[in-house]
């Protein structure tokens, strides 16, 4: 079953130098699966995630044949209707916890607010209980101390885990995770991804995992879209990423340092302008 369907999505920004196309006509479908979107910064992967949630503000322009969630075209909804989609049906874990957490509220207050917003009848005690539970679910050892802490008092990795805890409180259908684990170290990355993985399976959620980390994506997703300059240049089965054909995908893979291959310089990706206008791939 298709949870989300995106057809011919464009995101444009007018600039002094003319219109800049951040996303250039991409199409993909998502079932109850884990879809990875990989690309460098500027490839339009985050813009795709934001466009789905209609988070692109004026003067940005979003155009598409449709962006539908369970058959409902999100582009037709009013801003008010959209607010009930965000959080409850589709939620997003943003890139940087430093900008996503409120710096003048304690972590506990923020988590509890999120719970009570989506469960208006819930009591404070319940809210607190659920918040502590979610913090523990994202492997935070001393949840009680963290509840009292302000965002600047926790490390970056912990901040991101708090964000994930907060986003999962409303029990959404689709989670868009925009580089959720880039700030975490390998061991914690796995824990966090295992948590997200569990949610997708147990609750039948869809996951769009936006990342620049090819290895991570190949491990934790079913399918991967590779984006370059606002287009999908390649669609791979996650397990077969290393057999990728596109020179861009190969270049990304080769630019990673490896434990088993010492070398003085890392390979730097050589870009080819022809990639920008290559025929469209779709993830449908």
Partner 1 sequence: MSMIEIENLNIWFGEGVDRVDAVRDAAFSVARGESFGLVGESGSGKSTILRAITGLAPTWSGTIRVEGEPLQGHRRSRAFYKRVQMVFQDPYASLHPRQSVDQVLSETLHLQGMKDINKRVEKLLQDVGLGNRFRFRYPHQLSGGQRQRVAIARALAGEPDILLLDEPTSALDVSVQAEILNLLTDLREEHKLTYVMVSHDLPVVAHMCDRLAVMQQGEIVEVMTQDDLRQLRARHPYTRTLLDASISHHDAG
Enter the tokens of residue 253. 């893979």
CB 199 → partner 1: shortest distance, Å?
21
Closer to partner 1 by CB, 126 or 219: give it.
219
Match 């147990």 to its residue by tokens.
Answer: 202
Where along the sequence are the contacts to partner 1 (CB under 8 A)?
40-42, 96, 98, 145, 148-149, 153, 155-158, 182-190, 212-216, 218-219, 238-242, 251-252, 255-260, 262-269
Closer to partner 1 by CB, 79 or 185: give it.
185
Provide the pairing of β-strand 223-228 with 231-237.
Answer: antiparallel
CB 83 → partner 1: shortest distance, Å?
28
Closer to partner 1 by CB, 123 or 155: give it.
155
Quote the CA–CA distance of 198 and 217 in Å, as a whole number.
16
Enter the tokens of residue 96. 């940087």
Burial of 124 (0-12, 13-18, 19+ CB in 10 A): exposed
CB 159 → partner 1: shortest distance, Å?
9
Match 């206008």 to its residue by tokens.
Answer: 277
Which residues, at least 6 apart from 6, have a Cβ–Cβ distance to it below 8 Å?
Answer: 26, 27, 28, 29, 30, 48, 52, 64, 66, 67
CB 165 → partner 1: shortest distance, Å?
15
CB 193 → partner 1: shortest distance, Å?
11
Which residues, at least 6 apart from 186, have a Cβ–Cβ distance to it below 8 Å?
Answer: none
Match 């988590």 to its residue by tokens.
Answer: 111
CB 231 → partner 1: shortest distance, Å?
17
Closer to partner 1 by CB, 159 or 172: give it.
159
Which residues, at least 6 apart from 149, have a Cβ–Cβ distance to it below 8 Å?
Answer: 106, 107
Closer to partner 1 by CB, 90 or 183: give it.
183
Closer to partner 1 by CB, 125 or 268: give it.
268
């Amino acid at each position: 079953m298709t949870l989300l369907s995106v057809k011919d999505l464009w995101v444009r920004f007018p600039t002094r130098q003319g219109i800049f196309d951040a996303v250039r006509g991409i199409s993909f479908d998502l079932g109850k699966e884990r879809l990875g979107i990989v690309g460098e910064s500027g490839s339009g992967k985050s813009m795709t995630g934001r466009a789905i949630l209609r988070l692109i503000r004026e003067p940005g322009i979003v155009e598409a044949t449709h962006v539908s969630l369970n058959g409902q075209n999100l582009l037709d909804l009013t801003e008010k209707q959209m607010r009930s989609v965000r959080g409850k049906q589709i939620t997003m874990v943003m890139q940087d916890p430093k900008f996503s957490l409120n710096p003048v509220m304690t972590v506990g207050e923020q988590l509890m607010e999120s719970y009570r917003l989506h469960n208006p009848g819930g009591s404070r005690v319940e809210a607190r209980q659920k918040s502590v539970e979610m913090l523990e679910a994202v492997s935070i050892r001393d949840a009680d101390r963290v509840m009292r802490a302000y965002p600047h008092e926790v490390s970056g990795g912990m901040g991101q885990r708090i964000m994930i805890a907060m986003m999962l409180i409303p029990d959404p259908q689709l989670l868009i995770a925009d580089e959720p684990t880039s700030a975490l170290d390998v061991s914690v990355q796995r824990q966090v991804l295992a948590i997200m993985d569990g949610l997708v399976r147990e609750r039948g959620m869809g996951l769009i995992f936006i990342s620049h980390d090819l290895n991570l994506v190949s491990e934790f997703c079913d399918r991967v879209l590779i984006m370059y300059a606002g287009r999908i240049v390649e669609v791979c089965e996650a397990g077969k990423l290393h057999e990728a054909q596109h020179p861009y995908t190969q270049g990304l893979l080769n630019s990673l340092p490896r434990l088993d291959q010492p070398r003085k310089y890392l390979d730097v990706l050589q870009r080819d302008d022809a990639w920008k206008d290559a025929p469209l791939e779709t993830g449908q």
